[in-house]
């Protein structure tokens, strides 16, 4: 089973798919690439709207897309969110509602700046007080903004690391992604697909690169961990 743990497939909710037609096109590309389950993770910014307002909008987008998918053989959609870091997140009573549905796993986007121990402290508090396991979205991307040491301080916590398919395709980003993979910090794969062209799916291409550079067993492990996440297995049993 191939699982895309990070995508912006829902129509009209963020900077991802603009409409239902684009969402269907993206899902067809995913199907062609062998994707069985796609986790829809629209952006959530706690300074822009409440959790309740976000969930209401997400539900409406999902229902609209589901109706359009009827009768077509397309990847199954699971709901989640890509939650952007803010220190006030740790004080939200309903933060857990943003986890991937049916799980305690939350896709978490770090700040695009040089971050220090304060971010790690906040994540630690979220893990402890909210009983949430963060998935660090496109972890390789943050090496453009902070040190390897700062990033690894977070990746060595009780979290999972996710890499983008697109980062493996580009020479400029493949080095950072490969380094994190070799060090054992990457456990999940996501397309982070926003559309059909500039930020597309690329799952099949990424799979080929992973198998060529790191072996079939590593790719199978990533997908096994993805299944375990969706089954809400405890982190200690996954790793």
| 171-190 residue pLDDT tens | 889 999 999 999 999 999 99
Handedness of CA 111, 194, 42, 128 (dihedral sign): negative
192-211 residues labelled b (16+ CB within 10 A) or e (exposed): bbbbeeebbbbbeebbebbe
Predicted confidence at residue 192, as pLDDT, reads 98
Question: Who's near 73: CB < 8 A, 6+ residues apart?
Answer: 31
Predicted confidence (pLDDT) at residue 77 exceeds the cutoff of 90:
yes
Query: What confidence tier does 141 reach under pLDDT thresholds 50, 70, 90?
Result: very high
Q: What is the DSSP letter of 70?
A: T
Residue 144 contacts residue 110 (beta carbons within 8 Å)? no
Q: How far apart are CA 161 and CA 156, in angstroms?
A: 10
Name the nearest CA neighbour of 4 among 42, 45, 32, 34. Answer: 34
Residue 157's Cβ-count burial label (10 Å; 0-12, 13-18, 19+) is middle
pTM of the model: 0.97
Question: For position 116, what pLDDT does the model report?
Answer: 81
Task: Judge residue 14's burial from the number of C-beta atoms within 10 Å of its C-beta, 0-12 exposed, 13-18 middle, 19 or more buried.
Answer: buried
Length of the chain: 239
Mean pLDDT of 125-144: 97
Work out the mean pLDDT of the chain and round it to a whole number. Answer: 97
What the chain holds in terms of domains, given with CATH numbers, is 3-238 (3.20.20.140)
Q: Where residue 7 falls among pLDDT bands split at 50, 70, 90?
A: very high
CA angle 51, 158, 86 (to 5 degrees): 35
Across the beta sheet with 82-84, the strand order is: 43-44, 82-84, 105-109, 133-136, 160-164, 188-190
């Amino acid at each position: 089973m191939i699982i895309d743990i990070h995508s912006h497939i829902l129509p009209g909710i963020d900077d991802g798919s603009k409409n239902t037609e684009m969402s269907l096109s993206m899902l067809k590309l995913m199907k062609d690439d062998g994707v069985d389950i796609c986790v829809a993770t629209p952006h959530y910014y706690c300074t822009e709207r409440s959790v309740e307002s976000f969930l209401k909008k997400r539900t409406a987008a999902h229902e609209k897309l589901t109706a359009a998918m009827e009768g077509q053989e397309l990847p199954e959609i699971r709901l989640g969110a890509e939650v952007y870091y803010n220190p006030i997140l740790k004080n939200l009573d309903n933060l857990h509602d943003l986890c991937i549905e049916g799980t305690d796993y939350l896709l978490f986007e770090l700040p695009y700046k040089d971050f220090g121990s304060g971010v790690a402290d906040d994540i630690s508090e979220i893990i402890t007080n909210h009983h949430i396991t963060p998935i660090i979205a496109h972890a390789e991307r943050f090496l453009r903004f902070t040190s390897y040491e700062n990033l690894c301080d977070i990746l060595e916590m009780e979290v999972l690391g996710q890499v983008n398919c697109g980062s493996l395709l580009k020479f400029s980003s493949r080095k950072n992604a490969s380094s994190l993979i070799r060090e054992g910090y990457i456990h999940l794969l996501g397309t982070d697909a926003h559309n059909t062209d500039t930020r597309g799916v690329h799952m099949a291409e990424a799979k080929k690169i992973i198998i060529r550079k790191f072996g079939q067993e590593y790719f199978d492990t990533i997908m096994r961990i993805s299944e375990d996440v969706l089954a809400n297995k405890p982190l200690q049993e996954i790793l």
